């Protein structure tokens, strides 16, 4: 990834082992740093949305190119979150400079002139030259970086998402090989569908998967009743097993009225098997990305509507930029000035990126 390397005793603690945290850890380890990645939950596979790896602003630095190649597996098409995560996870496991520690929730971060550290829920301390918060839209590390603006806020709508095997629907509905994305007209709400490679990588008809995302601004009351959204804050997603039966019936009726095939068959299968998740959308425009030795990246740093399809790529650029800021110091290792440079390069682009999605959210959200 990089020919240059930093002093081998330099260390970083990354909070969060999802896409942003893994990319940051991998890039910094390749640059020679000792990396500890702490993740709140266990290693159990998680499902996720379909992602477009290649959308959004470009950065063709060697670090960014190398991360993009690794994350995408060389594919330019949309793909499952889980496919990207498993490639990054394998690369992190493969790097002896990275220690991945699961089931370890962080409850705070702090620093002095010499180092930064995080404290786990059991009181254990992990310290390093720098701490990076890659802990998502409800980031705890963000509280230390931006105490005046610690929270992302609910954007006023949700997205129902699911991924299923093509085999789960009748063969007559399997899309033609060249059909990649469809955006059928909805009544108010709308649906995005993608045909992606199968779990084993196959793109053969019958072996692929269908991913769909149904943008819905009519069920905020449900999110509030079930505690997913409280006040202006998103607390958690709504998983299939917790969706009330009458909501599933309403969704199936609406799908029958609105979506053409194959998306009707796909949504009905996901509804009938409860294999769908409602994600309340939140937004965060950052004023700061760094406080001395502590920085934030990914959704901890900027949360934008998924319609922009740019959050993942922005996380990749965060990782590449921060790593390059450290490498560019050519031996004069000064983490505070490297992180300050990272902020000066990334703050404006990510502010503009989130703001550009807000016009959609303001018209669609309620």
Q: Is residue 53 helix, strand or coil? A: coil
Q: Catalogue the E-assigned strands of the chain.
A: 11-15, 34-38, 50-51, 79-80, 98-101, 106-111, 116-120, 125-128, 130-133, 153-165, 181-182, 190-196, 209-216, 229-230, 233-234, 238-239, 277-283, 290-291, 294-296
**Which residue, 23 or 325, has its beta carbon nearer to ligand FAD?**
23
Q: Which residue in 67, 70, 140, 264 binds ligand FAD (CB under 6 A)?
A: 140
Task: Give backbone dihedrals phi and psi of 215, rounded to 5 degrees, phi first.
Answer: -80, 125
Question: Measured between alpha carbons, how far is 1 from 67 in angstroms, rounded to an integer?
Answer: 8
Position 267 contacts ligand FAD (CB under 6 A) = no
Interaction of residue 342 with ligand FAD, rule CB under 6 A: no
Distance CA 362, CA 366 (A): 8
- Contact region with ligand FAD (CB under 6 A), list: 221-229, 304-312, 320-328, 355-363: 304-312
The span of 48-56, 222-230, 335-343, 349-357 binding ligand FAD (CB under 6 A) equals 48-56
Taken in order 318, 323, 326, 328, the sign of the CA dihedral is negative
**Beta pairing partners, 50:** 80
Q: What six digits make up the tokens of 130?
A: 């720098």
Q: Taking contact as CB under 6 A, which single stretch among the options 14-22, 179-187, 217-225, 239-247 is the one that binds ligand FAD?
A: 14-22
Give me the least distance between CB of 8 and ligand FAD, in Å please.
Answer: 26
For ligand FAD, the binding residue among 11, 36, 83, 315 (CB under 6 A) is 315
Nearest residue (CB) to ligand FAD, 55 versus 340: 55
- Looking at 52, 220, 321, 323, which residue binds ligand FAD (CB under 6 A)? 52
Q: Does 270 bind ligand FAD (CB under 6 A)?
A: no
CB 322 within 8 A of CB 24: yes
With binding defined as CB under 6 A, does residue 213 bind ligand FAD? yes
Please pick, from the candidates 14, 27, 92, 106, the single residue that binds ligand FAD as defined by CB under 6 A.
106
Phi, psi of 236 (to 5 degrees): -160, 165
Binding site for ligand FAD (CB under 6 A): 15-21, 38-41, 49, 51-52, 55, 105-106, 134-136, 140, 159, 161, 213, 279, 298-300, 306, 309-313, 315
């Amino acid at each position: 990834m990089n020919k240059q390397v930093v002093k081998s005793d330099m260390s970083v603690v990354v909070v969060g082992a999802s896409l942003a945290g893994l990319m940051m850890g991998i890039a910094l380890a390749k640059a020679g740093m000792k990396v500890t990645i702490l993740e709140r939950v266990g290693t159990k596979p998680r499902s996720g949305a379909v992602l477009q790896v290649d959308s959004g602003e470009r950065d063709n630095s060697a670090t960014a190119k190398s991360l993009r190649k690794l994350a995408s597996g060389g594919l330019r098409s949309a793909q499952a979150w889980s496919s990207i995560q498993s490639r990054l996870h394998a690369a992190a496991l493969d790097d002896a400079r990275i220690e991945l520690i699961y089931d370890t929730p962080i409850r705070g971060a702090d620093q002095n002139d010499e180092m930064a550290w995080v404290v786990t829920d059991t009181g254990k301390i992990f310290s390093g030259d720098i701490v990076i918060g890659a802990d998502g839209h409800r980031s705890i590390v963000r509280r230390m970086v931006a105490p005046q603006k610690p929270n992302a806020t609910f954007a006023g709508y949700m997205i129902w998402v699911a991924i299923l095997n093509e085999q789960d629907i009748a063969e007559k509905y399997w899309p033609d090989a060249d059909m990649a994305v469809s955006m059928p007209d909805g009544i108010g709400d709308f649906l995005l569908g993608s045909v992606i490679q199968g779990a084993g990588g196959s793109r053969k008809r019958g072996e692929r998967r269908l991913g769909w995302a149904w943008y819905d601004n009519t069920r905020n009351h449900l999110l509030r009743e079930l505690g997913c959204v409280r006040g202006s804050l998103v607390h958690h997603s709504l998983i299939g097993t917790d969706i009330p039966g009458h909501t599933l019936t309403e969704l199936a009726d609406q799908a029958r009225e609105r979506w053409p095939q194959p998306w009707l068959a796909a949504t009905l299968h996901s509804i009938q098997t409860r294999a769908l998740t409602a994600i309340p959308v939140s937004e965060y425009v950052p004023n700061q990305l760094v406080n001395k030795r502590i920085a934030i990246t990914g959704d901890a740093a900027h949360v934008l509507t998924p319609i922009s399809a740019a959050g993942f790529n922005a996380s990749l650029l965060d990782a590449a930029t921060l790593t390059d800021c450290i490498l560019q110091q050519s031996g004069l290792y000064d983490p505070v000035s490297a992180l300050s440079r990272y902020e000066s390069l990334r703050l404006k682009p990510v502010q503009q990126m989130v703001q550009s999605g807000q016009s959609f959210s303001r018209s669609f959200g309620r």
